[in-house]
Amino acid sequence: MTSLDDIPVTQLKGVGSALAETLAKLSIHSVQDLLFHLPYRYEDRTRVVPMGSLRIGDIAVVEGEVMKTDLVMGRRRSLQVTLRDDSGFLVMRFFHFNAAQKNQLAEGASVRCFGEVRPGRAGYEFYHPEYQVSPPPMPAAGEATLTPVYPLTEGIQQPRVRGLCQQALGYLERFPIRDWLPPDLLTDYQLPGITEAVRLVHLPPAGSPVHLLVEGRHPAQQRLVMEELLAHQLSLLRVRQQIQARQALPLLPTGDLPERFLEQLPFKLTGAQKHVVQDIRQDLSQPVPMLRLVQGDVGSGKTVVAALAALQALGSGAQVALMAPTEILAEQHFRNFQDWLEPLGVTLAWLSGKVKGRARQEALAAVAEGRAQVAIGTHALFQDEVQFQRLALVIVDEQHRFGVHQRLALREKGVGGSLAPHQLIMTATPIPRTLAMSAYADLDTSVIDELPPGRKPIETIVLPDSRRDDIVERVRGACQTGRQAYWVCTLIEESEALQCQAAEVTAQELSKRLPELKIGLVHGRLKAQDKVDVMARFKSGELDLLVATTVIEVGVDVPNASLIIVENPERLGLAQLHQLRGRVGRGEQASFCVLMYHPPLSNNGKARLQALRDSQDGFFIAEKDLEIRGPGEVLGTRQTGLMQFRLADFERDKGWIEPVKEMAPGLMKQPKAVDALIRRWLGENIRYGEV
Ligand code: ADP
Ligand code: MG
């Protein structure tokens, strides 16, 4: 039997090849695609609002009589139509119009229009509203329906999409949509079948509960939301399944490298570190690729765990790749590993985008010939020209800076043939549980839920920038007693240039005011080598104060630094501030973080800085961040599209995450259902199939 999936959109009335091309940009190819092109909100056009009660920003239907219609010449020519009802006035303004329109909107005409209220030169205005002249009577209250609003792309307008979707609904009688969810499950959750749900969201029948629809909580919407979340979950499980269908080199915990490493460490592992090391040891010994995520709060000691994983791999004669998201962080790992591993006879290679010429050729050759046992670098490690001889373990530090797709690309570098590398992913920021469950469903998780002993809590102080002088004195005081400090300049993130400039200006100003201190400056626009040199001088204690942009946000580890000043913290996300604050509190001395905001603070801003002052629990802070800023920001995957849902809203729908996680494994046993659901909801955007 033909299914809706096989019926091309060109079968619909009025869809020629040009429109089909436009629809393709929205990933709409078949009638079924169109039916799953879902409204992302509704407009309530069921009531006429008196003009006198309109406020700026209202989206409303008004009805009235044309008082006058003028051609206004101003900067841009426009047609200005003044309407009136019993309560007030409103202007419709058109920048594009024709003579017929002008005649139709003559004085005395009765008009109903729909638009958004904006302040204009003639009072409140609607720009280019949808309108009807001599409109039919409004439907009675009980019969009115909401108007769906669809995602658009260039070259297609709302009414067109609306019309096509309505046309597509006509096919449902003959070709119902295949429901892949077990009927029991729908009964349990009291959800409608798929066909009914799709019909309802495109065309909510008269009398549907308006508030539920507007909020996205109607059972029909929730049915679709749940299916969408499920499809995402299944797509990640599918990735996992495909990776784990391949074999990996079992890396048995033989050899004495790990023990010798632990003996030379100046500290003992925490209980939490030991647990995680144990998880990893277990995974690596298997002939199946490890897929493990290690979460740990700032300073919980993830690097040592990574080193131990690497040593286990070396014991089997394999190569290891360690990737970090920034030059500074990769360099720091490289130095750590030099200190830790070179005494054990391990050979390292350093590869970042900035390594050029002879040095690069040499590093590439060492990696290709297997002379370098551990390659450390930025994402440059995963360019095509980097070929490993026997890569069996990939470690990615501070993963949330990388897109999900980069993560999926890693495994391509595996040990030749059919063997896939083991993967260890470490995150900078704790990830809220619900988010981890949906974004990292393909990974096993270990948590380092304990900080090394002896850490003193960091005292966080929130001050307005009018107290700048006092804060400068505080820096002087701290540095005079032999400790070190960071001064972080932040600006709106989009403008790196401005941010660097601000840091330069601040460094100059502080040098004038604190002549007795040695001050360094690091920002994204410095040459790689200069960055590295400054960091090394700060780490060695030669510099007292480091003025920096947010480039030092993750990973930087200088235990003697015990004071950090963050300018304009109100502009950063909570998780990011928590990371920055985590630059201090790494040694034994009491540490301080001063958040120097620029007044006035919004209420929300106040609450956020307070949350940070009151808590040092990364998981708690991450939950707050998720509430305030949404999953895309928290995970840093906004561009990669993974967490872009059509219908689901992470905050509103997080109640589904747990049930969806439970139902997914059962469905995995039906490959056809999995294929169909992934295709239905993720389309061709993510090619999970290409393993
Ligand atoms: P993060 O988890 O933020 O990457 P790091 O690996 O940079 O943390 O570790 C932070 C600091 O704590 C480093 O100076 C590291 O040497 C130290 N450290 C790690 N584990 C322990 C431990 N078990 N006891 C004491 N110090 C530790
Ligand atoms: Mg780290």
Distances (CA, A) of 434 to 290, 657, 680, 691: 22, 6, 23, 27
Per-residue pLDDT, 688: 38
Burial of 434 (0-12, 13-18, 19+ CB in 10 A): buried
Query: Does the Cβ of 559 fall within 6 Å of ligand 1?
Result: yes
Given pLDDT bands bounded at 50, 70 and 90, which one contains residue 134?
very high
Please give the structure tokens belonging to residue 422: 């083991």
Determine, yes or no, domain membership for 472. yes
Ligand 1 atom nearest 268 alpha carbon = 23
Ligand 1 centroid from CA 545, angstroms: 22
Tell me the pLDDT tens digit for each residue of 480-539.
999 999 999 986 555 677 777 788 999 999 999 999 999 999 988 888 788 888 988 999
What is the tens place of the pLDDT at every residue in 558-595?
999 999 999 999 888 888 888 889 899 888 889 999 99
Ligand 1 atom showing the smallest separation from residue 397 Cα? 4
Most confident of the ranges 138-142, 155-159, 225-229, 531-535: 225-229
Helix (H, G, I), strand (E, B) or coil at 7: coil
Where b means 16+ CB within 10 Å and e means fewer, 592-610 reads bbbbbbeeebeeebeebbe
Q: Among 61-65, 93-97, 327-331, 549-553, name the one with the lowest average pLDDT.
A: 549-553
Whether 355 is covered by a domain: the verdict is yes
C-alpha 585 to ligand 2 mean position (Å):
14
Ligand 1 close to Cβ of residue 628 (< 6 A):
no
pLDDT above 50 (res 415): no
Domain final residue, candidates 598, 615, 632:
615
Q: Tokens representing 268?
A: 């003992």
430 and 471 together in one domain: no
- The alpha carbon of 377 and the centre of ligand 1 are apart by a number of angstroms equal to 20
Instruction: Please tell me the number of the ligand nearest to residue 397's CA.
Output: 2
Provide CB contacts within 8 A for 421, sequence distance 6+.
248, 289, 321, 391, 392, 393, 394, 410, 411, 413, 414, 415
Q: Are residues 467 and 441 in the same domain?
A: no
Atom of ligand 1 nearest to the CA of 586: 11
Which numbered ligand comes closest to the C-alpha of 588?
1
**399 and 282 share a domain?**
yes
Residue 99, domain CATH: 2.40.50.140
Q: Which of 450, 557, 558 to mutate to test the pocket of ligand 1 (most atoms within 8 A of CB)?
A: 557
Cα of 598 vs centre of ligand 2, distance in Å, is 30
pLDDT tens per residue across span 347-371: 999 998 778 889 899 999 999 999 9
Interval 10-63: pLDDT, tens: 999 999 999 999 999 998 999 999 999 999 888 888 889 999 999 988 889 999
Q: Quick check: CB of 304 below 6 Å from ligand 1?
A: yes
Q: What angle do CA 641, 642, 647 make, to 5 degrees?
A: 85
- Position 231 in a domain: no
What residues make up the domain containing 366?
Answer: 257-448
Q: Are residues 462 and 438 in the same domain?
A: no
Report whether pLDDT(411) > 60: no
524 CB under 6 A from ligand 1? no
Q: Do 288 and 419 belong together in one domain?
A: yes
Whether 412 and 475 share a structural domain: no
The alpha carbon of 264 and the centre of ligand 2 are apart by a number of angstroms equal to 20
Q: What is the pLDDT of residue 555?
A: 66
CA–CA dist 350, 378 (Å, integer): 9
**Total domains, the chain:** 3
Q: Does residue 248 belong to any structural domain of this protein?
A: no
In a domain, 643, yes or no: no
Cα gap 284→276, rounded to integer Å: 12
Does residue 429 line the site of ligand 1, with CB under 6 A? no
Asked if 423 and 566 sit in the same domain, the reply is no
Q: Can you give the pTM of this predicted structure?
A: 0.76
Whether 294 and 369 share a structural domain: yes
441 lies in the same domain as 378:
yes
Across the chain, mean pLDDT equals 87
Looking at the structure, tell me whether residues 442 and 540 fall in a common domain. Answer: no
Taking the CA of residue 296 as reference, the ligand 1 atom at the shortest distance is 2
Please check the confidence at residue 637 and state whether its pLDDT lies above 50: no
Give the nearest ligand 1 atom to 336 CA.
16
- 72 pLDDT higher than 80: yes
Q: Are residues 414 and 474 in the same domain?
A: no
Atom of ligand 1 nearest to the CA of 557: 7
Residue 630: the pLDDT is 66
Ligand 1 mutation target, pool 274, 295, 304, most atoms within 8 A of CB: 304
Question: Quick one: which atom of ligand 1 is closest to the CA of 559?
Answer: 14
Residues whose Cβ atom is located within 5 A of ion ligand 2: 302, 555
Alpha-carbon distance of 376 to 399, in angstroms, equals 15
138, 170, 192: which is the final residue of a domain?
A: 138
For residue 654, name the pLDDT band (cuts at 50, 70, 90): confident
Residue 221 lies in a domain: no
Residue 233: inside a domain, yes or no? no
CATH code of 470's domain = 3.40.50.300
Say yes or no: 60 and 109 in one domain. yes
357 φψ region: left (φ > 0), alpha (ψ -120 to 50), beta (else)? left
- Residue 111, classified by CB atoms within 10 Å of its CB into exposed (0-12), middle (13-18) or buried (19+), is buried
**Which ligand is closest in space to the CA of residue 449?**
1
What the block records as the tokens of 339 is 């200190």
Q: Whose CA is nearest to atom 20 of ligand 1?
A: 301
In a domain, 553, yes or no: yes
Distance in Å, CA 651 to ligand 1 centroid: 33
Query: Which residue, of 448, 469, 485, is where some domain finishes?
Result: 448
